[in-house]
């Protein structure tokens, strides 16, 4: 059998209904499982690829590895095998929907929260793949398929795990010598610098580059590096920086742009070390589902033995209140509340000091007055001490200037409102007698008519 045609029966149980797509290495068809009465998708190598023993062996290994990925964000593998001709095949669930490349062509750039949500779902699939040692190496919008769950919510499926890395069936020469230009040009736009240099010298961080490139395109509607020829494209990827996302789409938050650009660092040691760190930084920009996706990604990689330190996000600041997400707004509101509480603590302390000074001076307090003789007003209406002010939040330390006039004045009524203000005695002008030397008792002073007040200053002369 050369190329399957409609009506052919493969492996005695799959009747081909129609061809879904043809690539440089293989073909995908829709078929009916005659025993289960269920439609499936079947992927197998084209005849011209069968002469490469390495390609055939790698197809089988990758198909078996894909079975181990249990994430809902990977197309479920039902069966693997070989046709009578020896060509390997892989039976997968048949998906209904569209891939992100079609979505971009039809609608352009996606809403920010939607783009981040799709990328996080793809990262969930990558987390499981990376945990068992699989590097995709061909992530692009065409390999991210958006279907729907039973409840109608979108679900991204990552396609073509490990298949597209076999780009040279002959095993000799450069990948650029392939005659199927469309098949090869679909991938270099998303290839990392190290993958352009050597497809073998890659690790999981090449997927970090590719997913960052995809996110850049979903947010801006264009790829970060564009060129007319393959050499020009390679030069751009290897030596230049992409245009800032915010220069193309101003509403992209600065922190999200920083996360995308960290994925696109030329030096892979400067990129995110894993998809969990990336997910932690971008999850706040998809507030409805992002945090849950980031948590699942972290758990998957943690269960594979990765340390918690390696799973930590970058040192990027959290989104500010100006970011267009619910999480960012909540974060900003929390910080504002903390600062407000700290300022009012400082205001209360300053008010206590001011009221104490005013009361001390009005009631006759002096450095010459004995410390054991408090005034009557101080005994009956003690001013609140700093210890009675609200406690400062344990997170923030705020230094308040001691002479902030406006806040102190506005805070005085609130501090003194717990008890009625003490009426200070008002003494009219009168003659003050000076105690003669050598006497033990002071000469009494006749109070003015209509007042029985004692002048608090009479003992100071």
Residue 14 inside a domain? The answer is yes
On whether both 83 and 229 belong to a single domain, the answer is no
Residue 273 inside a domain? The answer is yes
Residue 437 inside a domain? The answer is no
φ, ψ dihedrals at 337, nearest 5°: -65, -40
Residue 173 inside a domain? The answer is no
Determine the pLDDT at residue 89: 86
**How does pLDDT run across 26-53, given as a tens digit for each residue?**
889 999 999 999 999 998 888 878 887 7
On whether both 122 and 138 belong to a single domain, the answer is yes
Asked whether residue 354 carries a pLDDT value surpassing 80, the answer given is no
On whether both 368 and 300 belong to a single domain, the answer is no
**How does pLDDT run across 213-256, given as a tens digit for each residue?**
999 999 999 999 999 999 999 999 999 999 999 999 999 999 99
On whether both 218 and 108 belong to a single domain, the answer is yes
On whether both 357 and 257 belong to a single domain, the answer is no
Residue 450 inside a domain? The answer is no
Give dist(CA 330, CA 316) in Å, integer. 17
Per-chain mean pLDDT for the chain:
73
On whether both 140 and 240 belong to a single domain, the answer is yes
Query: What's the predicted TM-score (pTM) here?
Result: 0.64
Among the listed residues 99, 138, 160, 455, the single catalytic one is: 138
Task: State which residues form the domain around 126.
Answer: 98-168+180-317
Q: How many CB atoms lie within 10 A of CB 151?
A: 6
On whether both 129 and 204 belong to a single domain, the answer is yes
Residue 62 inside a domain? The answer is yes
On whether both 336 and 188 belong to a single domain, the answer is no
Determine the pLDDT at residue 188: 92
Residue 431 inside a domain? The answer is no
Q: How many domains does the chain have?
A: 3
Residue 339 inside a domain? The answer is yes
On whether both 389 and 243 belong to a single domain, the answer is no
Final residue before a domain boundary, out of 290, 317, 344 = 317
CATH number of the domain to which 45 belongs: 3.30.200.20
Share of the chain above pLDDT 70, in %: 60
Final residue before a domain boundary, out of 74, 93, 112 = 93
pLDDT band for 358, please (50, 70, 90 cuts).
low
Both structure tokens of 449: 């008519």
Final residue before a domain boundary, out of 67, 93, 119 = 93
On whether both 332 and 378 belong to a single domain, the answer is yes
CATH number of the domain to which 293 belongs: 1.10.510.10
On whether both 186 and 263 belong to a single domain, the answer is yes
Please give the average per-residue pLDDT across 298-302, as a whole number: 94
**How does pLDDT run across 401-424, given as a tens digit for each residue?**
333 333 333 333 444 444 454 444
On whether both 15 and 121 belong to a single domain, the answer is no
Active-site residue flag, 138: yes
The closest of 23, 88, 84, 40 to 60, measured between CA atoms, is: 88
φ, ψ dihedrals at 28, nearest 5°: -120, 130
């Amino acid at each position: 059998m050369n190329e399957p045609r409609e009506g052919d029966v493969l492996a005695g149980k799959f009747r081909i209904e129609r061809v879904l797509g043809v690539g440089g290495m293989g073909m995908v068809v829709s078929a009916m499982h005659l025993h289960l009465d269920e439609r499936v998708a079947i992927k197998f190598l084209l005849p011209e690829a069968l002469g490469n023993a390495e390609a055939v062996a790698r197809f089988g290994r990758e198909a078996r590895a894909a079975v181990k990925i249990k994430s809902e964000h990977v197309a479920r593998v039902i069966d693997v095998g070989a046709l009578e001709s020896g060509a390997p095949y892989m039976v997968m669930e048949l998906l209904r929907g569209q891939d992100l490349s079609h979505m971009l062509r039809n609608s352009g750039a996606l809403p920010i929260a939607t783009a981040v949500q799709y990328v996080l779902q793809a990262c969930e699939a990558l987390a499981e793949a990376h945990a068992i040692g699989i590097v995709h190496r061909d992530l692009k919008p065409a390999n991210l398929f958006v279907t729907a769950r039973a409840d109608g919510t979108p679900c991204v499926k990552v396609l073509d795990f490990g298949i597209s890395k076999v780009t040279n069936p002959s095993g000799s020469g450069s990948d650029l010598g392939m005659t199927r230009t469309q098949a090869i040009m679909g991938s270099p736009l998303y290839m990392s610098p190290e993958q352009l240099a050597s497809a073998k010298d890659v690790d999981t961080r090449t997927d970090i580059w590719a997913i960052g490139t995809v996110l850049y395109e979903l947010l801006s509607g264009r790829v970060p590096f564009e060129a007319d020829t393959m050499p020009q494209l390679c030069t751009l990827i290897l030596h230049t920086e992409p245009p800032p996302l915010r220069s193309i789409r101003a509403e992209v938050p600065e922190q999200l742009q920083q996360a995308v650009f960290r994925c696109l660092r030329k030096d892979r040691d400067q990129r995110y070390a894993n998809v969990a760190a990336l997910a932690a930084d971008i999850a706040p920009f998809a507030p409805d589902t992002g945090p849950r996706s980031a948590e699942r990604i972290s758990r998957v990689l943690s269960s594979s033995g990765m340390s918690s330190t390696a799973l930590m996000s970058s040192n990027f600041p959290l989104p500010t209140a100006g970011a267009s997400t619910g999480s960012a707004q909540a974060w900003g509101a929390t910080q504002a509340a903390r600062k407000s509480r700290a300022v009012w603590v400082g205001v209360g302390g300053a008010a206590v000091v001011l009221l104490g000074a005013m009361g001390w001076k009005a009631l006759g307090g002096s450095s010459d007055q004995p410390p054991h003789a408090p005034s009557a007003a101080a005994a009956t209406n003690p001013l609140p001490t700093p210890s009675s002010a609200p406690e400062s939040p344990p997170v923030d330390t705020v230094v308040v200037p001691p002479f902030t006039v406006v806040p102190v004045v506005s805070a005085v009524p609130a501090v003194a409102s717990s008890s009625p203000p003490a009426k200070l005695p008002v003494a009219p002008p009168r003659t003050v007698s000076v105690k003669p030397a050598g006497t033990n008792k002071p000469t009494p002073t006749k109070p003015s008519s209509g007042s029985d007040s004692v002048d608090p200053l009479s003992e100071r002369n």
